[in-house]
């Protein structure tokens, strides 16, 4: 799951594995041209993001450092705002679990459709005809079909 800090938009992905290659694919598919930085924890799968995708990568250390302290957010530029954190994305997974719980189990064959429904409903400001068409897999009629 990826969450845009400025837009608040959530992108959800269903993959067979959660390794480093899947991580790079998800990040590459999610970041926009105007993205300045990717903030993550220190999981090793993110290690090649900066070199392979070309976006600044900042991390927070959730595990204990040499002094026994944990880091959840950090202020790198000294302005008093702890801008380096991944709390928004980590918290975005909880509503997905709540959404799926209602169905009392989802077969992995259909998981991508349930997750896509959750993503659409999460990002929608209001339900429109376009959202209903997207959720029902109905294609927009072409110009020639209308005439």
Asked if residue 95 belongs to a domain, the reply is yes
Asked if residue 19 belongs to a domain, the reply is yes
CA pair distance 75, 57, nearest whole angstrom: 15
Asked if residue 133 belongs to a domain, the reply is no
- Tell me the per-residue pLDDT of 50-66, one tens digit each, with 9 for 90 and over: 888 888 888 777 777 77
pTM above 0.85, yes or no: no
CA pair distance 67, 134, nearest whole angstrom: 51
Asked if residue 120 belongs to a domain, the reply is no
Asked if residue 115 belongs to a domain, the reply is no
Spatial neighbors of 15 by CB under 8 A, at least 6 apart, are 22, 25, 26
Asked if residue 132 belongs to a domain, the reply is no
- Structural domain including 11 reads 2-105
Mean pLDDT value of segment 6-18: 82
pLDDT in the model for residue 143: 45
Q: How far is CA 143 from CA 33, 72, 140, 147, in A?
A: 31, 52, 9, 7
Pairing of strands 10-11, 2-3: antiparallel
pLDDT in the model for residue 138: 59
- Tell me the per-residue pLDDT of 126-141, one tens digit each, with 9 for 90 and over: 788 877 777 776 555 4
pLDDT band at 146 (very low <50, low <70, confident <90, very high): very low
pLDDT in the model for residue 57: 81
CA pair distance 98, 131, nearest whole angstrom: 22
Pairing of strands 37-40, 56-59: parallel
DSSP category for residue 117: H
pLDDT at 6 over 80: no
Mean pLDDT of the chain: 77
Asked if residue 135 belongs to a domain, the reply is no
pLDDT in the model for residue 131: 77
pLDDT in the model for residue 145: 41
Structure tokens at 43: 């999981």
pLDDT at 107 over 60: yes
* Alpha-carbon radius of gyration of the chain: 19
Residue 40's CB is within 10 A of a number of other CB atoms, namely 20
pLDDT band at 33 (very low <50, low <70, confident <90, very high): low
Asked if residue 53 belongs to a domain, the reply is yes
Q: What is the total count of domains within the chain? A: 1
pLDDT at 147 over 50: no
pLDDT in the model for residue 139: 56
């Amino acid at each position: 799951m990826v969450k845009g800090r400025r837009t608040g938009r959530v992108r959800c992905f269903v993959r067979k594995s959660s390794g480093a290659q899947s991580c790079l694919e998800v990040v590459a598919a999610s970041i926009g041209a105007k993205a300045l930085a990717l903030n993550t924890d220190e999981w090793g799968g993110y290690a090649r993001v900066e070199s392979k995708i070309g976006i600044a990568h900042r991390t927070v250390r959730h595990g204990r450092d040499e002094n026994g302290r944990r880091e959840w957010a950090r202020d790198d530029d000294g302005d008093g705002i702890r801008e380096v954190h991944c709390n928004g994305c980590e918290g975005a997974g909880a509503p997905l679990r709540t959404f799926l719980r209602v169905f009392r189990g989802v077969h992995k064959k259909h998981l991508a459709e349930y997750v896509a429904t959750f993503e659409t409903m999460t990002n929608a400001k209001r339900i429109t005809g376009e959202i209903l068409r997207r959720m029902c897999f109905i294609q927009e009629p072409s110009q020639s079909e209308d005439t």
